[in-house]
């Protein structure tokens, strides 16, 4: 074999080659990072320049909202669907606000389908029903549709374009109604068909625009003989979905001490209550519920609410949300109304929060003390951290005009009974116990949680106000305001034995290295102390509530030391 001479490139060539490779790599990376994209909402192209970057399609937020017929509310750099639906990541470039189109789709009740640089947002079927001589077909987004008639048997059907059906569809029958049967099916991959089998040939009238979120078809029986045994009076309702409740009415009543919403349904309801401290909204969610008729227009006149509205979510199982926009911290509770099908939602000024908030007596209780060190870890004794925060909070509160009483001002041991007995010695308005947490697994849990007794609405409002302020100002991980029933069946001693609204603050986890490092920082302790006072003042009506949203608190690995 002839020897082969290896030819090495001249040294001067290497810089040129490296530069060319770098340029090519940068160009390839830039190309891979961002490409033009198109977004369609149920077949309608979204206006403006969209682009695909790092697997996400970004589209102009205003154009997305307009195409979907919904309202977007800014939440920092991100967005939220008005009335709920989760956070939608956002960004601003060249003065244009963009939203993550796939996240927008899900928040708006749609289904994102992407192929390359094209993202299609499909609607879901929310509800199909026949009532009052009309067929109602509701979707989560505006859709185009077509209406047709078939014979043998007589039926009118609606084809919904760019719509998908969750589940296999279904059928419901009624021999007493003008519509004998309703059938729902995925007729084609992106077309849902709703067929109404009628009692004879019924003329129909389309009562919706060509593109609509709810398609309404009036079926007249003027030229058809009524079915045998047909009921007189209001038309019988036929619905494809079983177990769906109908909310008949929602009424707002206002008084000097608060407001109440009276909700009446066709069957018992058990709404879930929630709130968003980022917006000051409180709401009730009625699962598997649809509102009958048009939503009432609420015009609150009291200083407690700035607005209220009903929002109908129709993705999957329908959900009705009653939203109250509050001006200040409120206490809320849900109670029974007149009969099993009615509930009353009360929103009121919390106990002790009326009148001038200054000079009100607030008891701050630094947990543990003396031989009772509380939690220990990372070079910290809980009793010392609690006392440091309480002293700083007392100083801050007194500067603000509050009358602060400390259960202990030095390292002494107090019984739990001695702490709560101090409430009756003064004209006490609020009781706040200050603690830090620990658990059995170091570095497994961190963050702030604030406890209130059982389901007491006033104490819960206080706990929420303090939690929101600590999270917003100190930047701790939000673990939520929680009922002490999650810890013990009878709750925490100092909370259940308080005759005034009370909260127990767990600032952080001493056995978490990150939390412990912050608890050793005097500036952090001062921030927490100020936040506790701000939470108290917010509760009393002297400060706008914090606007930092809280995460749902994890249910596992509870702490709160041994404060039973």
**pLDDT band of 187, cuts 50, 70, 90:** confident
- Per residue in 41-74, pLDDT (tens digit) is 999 999 999 999 988 999 999 999 999 988 888 8
Residue 70, pLDDT score:
83
Q: Which of 258-267, 276-285, 467-476 is predicted with the least confidence, judged by mean pLDDT?
A: 276-285
Hunting for tokens 């589940």 — which residue is that? Answer: 167
pLDDT higher than 50, residue 341:
yes
Q: For residues 536-555, give the mean pLDDT.
A: 59
pLDDT higher than 60, residue 380:
yes
All structural domains of the chain: 34-108 (no CATH), 122-226+234-239 (2.60.40.3500), 245-348 (2.60.40.3500), 361-540 (3.40.630.40)
- Per residue in 70-120, pLDDT (tens digit) is 888 887 888 887 655 568 999 998 889 999 999 998 888 899 998 888 999
Helix (H) / strand (E) element for 356: namely none
- Per residue in 383-439, pLDDT (tens digit) is 999 999 999 999 999 999 999 999 999 999 999 999 999 999 999 999 999 999 999
CB contact at 8 A, 485 and 514:
no
State the helix-helix crossing angle for 522-540 and 457-474, rounded to 10 degrees.
140
pLDDT higher than 80, residue 223:
no
Average pLDDT along the chain: 84
pLDDT higher than 90, residue 251:
yes
Residue 26, pLDDT score:
44
Residue 2, pLDDT score:
37
In this structure, what are the phi and psi dihedrals at residue 559, rounded to the nearest 5 degrees?
-120, -125
Closest Cα partner for 560 from 387, 434, 393? 434
518 DSSP β-pair partners: none
Provide Rg for the chain, Cα atoms. Answer: 30
**pLDDT band of 220, cuts 50, 70, 90:** low
**pLDDT band of 15, cuts 50, 70, 90:** low
**pLDDT band of 453, cuts 50, 70, 90:** very high
Residue 204, pLDDT score:
82
- Per residue in 482-519, pLDDT (tens digit) is 999 888 888 999 999 999 999 999 999 999 999 999 99
- Give the span between the Cα atoms of 33 and 37, in whole angstroms: 12
Q: How far is CA 528 from CA 89, 409, 502, in A?
A: 29, 18, 18
Residue 182, pLDDT score:
86
Q: In the chain, pLDDT over 70 holds for what percent of residues?
A: 83
CB contact at 8 A, 68 and 85:
no
pLDDT higher than 80, residue 545:
no
**Which tokens hold the place of 72?**
């977007």
**Which tokens hold the place of 64?**
């997305």
């Amino acid at each position: 074999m002839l020897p082969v001479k290896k030819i090495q490139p001249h040294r001067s060539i290497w810089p040129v080659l490296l530069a060319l490779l770098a340029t090519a790599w940068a160009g390839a990376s830039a190309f891979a990072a961002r490409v033009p994209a198109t977004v369609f909402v149920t077949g309608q192209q979204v206006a403006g320049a969209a682009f695909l970057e790092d697997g996400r399609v970004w589209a102009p937020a205003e154009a997305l909202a307009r195409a979907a017929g919904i309202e977007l509310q800014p939440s920092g750099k991100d967005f939220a669907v008005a009335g709920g639906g989760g956070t939608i990541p956002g960004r601003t470039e060249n003065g244009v606000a963009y939203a993550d189109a796939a996240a927008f789709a899900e928040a708006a009740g749609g289904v994102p389908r992407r192929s390359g640089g094209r993202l299609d947002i499909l609607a879901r079927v929310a509800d199909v029903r026949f009532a009052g001589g009309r067929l109602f077909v509701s979707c989560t987004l505006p859709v185009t549709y077509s209406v047709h008639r078939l014979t043998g048997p007589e039926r009118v059907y609606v084809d919904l374009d760019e719509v998908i059906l969750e589940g296999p569809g279904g059928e419901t029958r009624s021999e007493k109604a003008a519509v004998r049967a309703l059938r729902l099916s995925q007729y084609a991959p992106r077309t849902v068909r709703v067929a109404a089998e009628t009692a004879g040939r019924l003329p129909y009238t389309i009562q919706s625009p060509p593109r609509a979120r709810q398609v309404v078809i009036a079926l007249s029986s003027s030229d058809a003989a009524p079915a045998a045994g047909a009921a007189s009076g209001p038309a019988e309702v036929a619905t494809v979905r079983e177990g769906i409740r109908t909310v008949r009415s929602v009424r707002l009543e206002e008084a000097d001490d608060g407001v109440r919403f009276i909700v009446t349904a066709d069957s018992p309801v058990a709404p879930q209550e929630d709130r968003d401290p980022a917006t000051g909204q409180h709401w009730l969610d009625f699962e598997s519920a649809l509102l009958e008729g048009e939503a009432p227009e609420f015009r609150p006149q009291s200083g407690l609410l700035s607005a209220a509205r009903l929002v109908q979510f129709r993705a999957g199982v329908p959900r009705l949300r009653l939203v109250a926009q509050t001006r200040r911290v409120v206490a809320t509770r849900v109670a029974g109304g007149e009969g099993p099908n009615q509930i009353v939602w009360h929103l009121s000024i919390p106990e002790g929060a009326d009148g001038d908030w200054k000079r009100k007596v607030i008891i701050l209780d630094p947990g543990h003390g003396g031989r009772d060190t509380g939690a220990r870890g990372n070079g910290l004794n809980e009793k010392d951290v609690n006392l440091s925060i309480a002293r700083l909070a007392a100083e801050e509160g007194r500067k603000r005009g509050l009358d602060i009483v400390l259960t202990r001002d030095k390292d002494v041991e107090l019984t739990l009974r001695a702490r709560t007995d101090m409430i009756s010695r003064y004209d006490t308005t609020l009781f706040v116990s200050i603690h830090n947490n620990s658990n059995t697994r170091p570095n497994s849990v961190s963050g702030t949680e604030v406890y209130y007794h059982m389901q007491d609405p006033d104490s819960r409002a206080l706990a929420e106000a303090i939690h929101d302020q600590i999270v917003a100002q100190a930047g701790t991980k939000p673990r939520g305001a929680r009922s002490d029933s999650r810890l013990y069946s009878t709750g925490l001693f100092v909370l259940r034995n308080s005759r005034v609204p009370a909260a127990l603050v767990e600032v952080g986890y001493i056995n978490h290295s990150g939390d412990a490092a912050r608890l050793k920082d005097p500036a952090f302790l001062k921030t927490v102390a100020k936040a506790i006072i701000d939470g108290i003042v917010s509760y009393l009506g002297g400060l706008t509530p914090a606007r930092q949203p809280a995460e749902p608190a994890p249910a596992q690995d509870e702490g709160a030391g041994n404060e039973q």
